[in-house]
Amino acid sequence: MKPRLSLKGRALRYLSMREHSRLELGRKLSRYAEEGDDVEALLDFLEKNNWLSQERFSESLVHRRSARFGNSRIMAELQSHGLSSEALKEVKAGLSDTEIARARELWERRFGEVATDPAARNKQIRFLMQRGFSQRAVFSAVKGEPEDDF
């Protein structure tokens, strides 16, 4: 029989696989907490020793999601993980610079050519809108023209 992992060992295993938000890691660990275990104290300890970092988590999530999703979808996911409003503002500012280019890359991978009829154009617009891209980014991408560098 395998020895049971301590709460700290379980937390370090989760963090070794990928970055987690404090809220997400707390939820995962609370399933395994026994009488007398203090999950909040463990999370504080992990943050103090820089094993758990909201900045690294947000960078990781943006890196994983940015090629497939727009700003509003990524921001909603970060918000659901309990990030502070200051951290959200910083992430949003960084994402805004690249949204049109990311929408264009996704459109190019998925469709590759400008729609010739309204039904196909609407399909392309819906595809990008459902992934959280702004209207400006969507309409710029479905035009299929190279981005203007003003």
Is residue 38 a part of any domain in this protein? yes
- CATH code, 11: 1.10.10.10
Domain extent at residue 108: 99-143
- CATH code, 114: 1.10.10
Of 36, 52, 68, which residue is a domain's last?
A: 52
The pTM for the full model equals 0.82
Quick one: pLDDT at residue 87?
83
Is residue 61 a part of any domain in this protein? no
* pLDDT one-digit tens code per residue, 25-39: 999 999 988 877 889
| Mean pLDDT to the nearest integer, 50-67 | 93
Q: Is 144 left (phi over 0), alpha (psi -120 to 50) or beta?
A: left
Q: Would you place residue 148 in the very low, low, confident or very high pLDDT band (cuts 50, 70, 90)?
A: low
Total count of domains within the chain? 2
Is residue 16 a part of any domain in this protein? yes
With CA atoms as reference, report the closest residue to 68 among 132, 126, 111: 132
Q: What is the C-alpha separation between 127 and 136, in angstroms, rounded?
A: 14
What percent of the chain stands above pLDDT 70? Answer: 95
| Mean pLDDT to the nearest integer, 91-106 | 91
Is residue 21 a part of any domain in this protein? yes
Is residue 119 a part of any domain in this protein? yes
Is residue 149 a part of any domain in this protein? no
